[in-house]
Amino acid sequence: MRTLLDRLKEREVLVADGAMGTMLFSKGLKAGECPERLNLDRLEVLEEIAKLYLKAGADIIQTNTFGASPLKLSQYSLEDRMEEINTNAVRAVRKVVGDRAYISASCGPCGRLLKPYGDISPEEVSRGFERQLQAVAAEGVDLICIETMTDLAEATLAIKAAKLVSPSTPVCATMTFDSTPKGFFTIMGVSIEQAAKGLAEAGADIVGSNCGNGIQNMVMIASEFRQYTSLPLVIQSNAGLPEMKGNLPVYPETPQFMAEQCRKLLECGVNIIGGCCGTTPAHIAAIKKVVDEFKKN
């Protein structure tokens, strides 16, 4: 299998998988439980999710390691099992996909605010990311995905940690934006221009956005990103904004609606299209169909 970056350099469009959390909740995860806890004793759930997304046509399958940094795991008193949690997650995906898809190691925020806004030092955050990413890199992942970041300083620390522990592994970095009267900004005040330039300067090989928006907003975000970067661009939107029905969030955007909007992402020059909260294998299958049609033309 050709490397992921080689395919992107040839302007090939790849399809990533959809939501992990949405699928975990559908498999029995309870609100407030640690999603990464399943990596210790319910690997069959991870394998089943990977199998569903592979069948849907995803070229890139993520690991259940979004919150598997030691700082984040410490909220559940699981920091001492960090290596095991990350290692098991990669192995569960590999058992299913083999060499039929790329394995992407998910890495989300550490859950703490950096000084001076919070109480944690950049050095401690860096050490945590290095430990986590060393564990997934040792298992030979094809991509490290730093995602759902809102603080450019934290994203930079994670990217640099990834490049330190495994210089040859491509790094994807995405930030989450809110729509404001003055444009799109993260909750920490980072603009799309600042994100595009800052993520690239930190060493990211692929940049873009995930979470926080339905696909129509993501089309606008992608268009603005493309103004500021020539790097491969990734977009993973929510299936709209959730509406609470009972205790469960329900996402309104259907697979067909998201797939139709994907045509606009392709026109913007997006190189990797996947899904975030609320998206399912059905969404990814619909997106895959549109991407395949685009490739033929």
pLDDT of residue 146: 98
CA torsion angle for 125, 130, 133, 138 (degrees, to 10)? Answer: -160
Q: What are phi and psi of 19, to 5 degrees?
A: -65, 140
Q: What DSSP string runs through 149-165?
A: E--HHHHHHHHHHHHHH
Q: Pick the closest to residue 128 from 110, 148, 108, 152 (CA basis).
A: 110
User: Which whole number is the average pLDDT over 175-180?
Assistant: 98
* pLDDT over 90 at 4, yes or no: yes
Distance of CA 43 to the CA centre of its chain: 20
Q: What is the pLDDT of residues 92-102, one digit of tens each?
A: 999 999 999 99
Name the E strands within 23-82. 60-62
In the chain, % of residues over pLDDT 90: 94
Per-residue pLDDT band at 51 (split at 50, 70, 90): very high
Any idea which fold 4-296 has? TIM Barrel (3.20.20)
Q: Which residues of 193-229 are buried (b: 16+ CB within 10 A; e: fewer)?
A: eebbebbbebebbbbbbbbbbbbebbbbbbbbbbebb
pLDDT above 90 for 198: yes
Please, what is the average pLDDT of the chain? 97
Contact by Cβ (8 Å): 236, 276? yes
The CA distance from 156 to 94, in Å, is 28
How many CA atoms within 13 Å lie on the side-chain side of 223? 12
Nearest CA-CA partner of 49 in 77, 6, 18, 79: 18
Task: Note the pLDDT of residue 249.
Answer: 83
Quick check: 158 pLDDT over 90? Answer: yes
The pLDDT of residue 295: 87
Residue 164's pLDDT is what?
A: 98
| pLDDT for the residue numbered 248 | 78
Q: What is the pLDDT of residue 244?
A: 86
Please say whether the dihedral angle defined by the alpha carbons of residues 223, 290, 173 and 253, taken in this order, is positive or negative.
positive
- The region of weakest confidence among 235-239, 240-244, 280-284, 287-291 is 240-244
What's the confidence (pLDDT) of residue 101? 98
At 1 the pLDDT is 75
pLDDT at 174 over 90: yes
Overall pTM > 0.85: yes
